Amino acid sequence: MPGPIIPHSILFCCDHNAVRSPMAEGMMKRFYGRSAYVQSAGVKNDLEIDGFAVAVCAELGVELSRHRSRSFEEMQSWGDDLGSFDLIVALSPASQRQAMELTRHAHLDIEYWPVMDPTGLAEGREAVLLKYREARDQIRGRMVDRFGPPTEP
pLDDT tens string 51-87: 999 999 999 999 999 888 999 899 888 887 888 899 9
CA distance 124 to 89: 31
Would residue 24 count as lying in a domain?
yes
Q: How many domains does the chain fold into?
A: 1
| Predicted structure pTM score | 0.93
Positions in the chain whose pLDDT score sits under 70: 1-3, 153
Which CATH number is 61's domain given? 3.40.50.2300
Residue range(s) defining the domain that contains residue 120: 9-147
What pLDDT was estimated at residue 2?
Answer: 57
Asked if residue 38 is part of any domain, the answer here is: yes
d(CA 11, CA 70): 12
Residue 3 lies in a domain: no
| Residue 89 counted as domain residue | yes
Within-domain flag for 4:
no
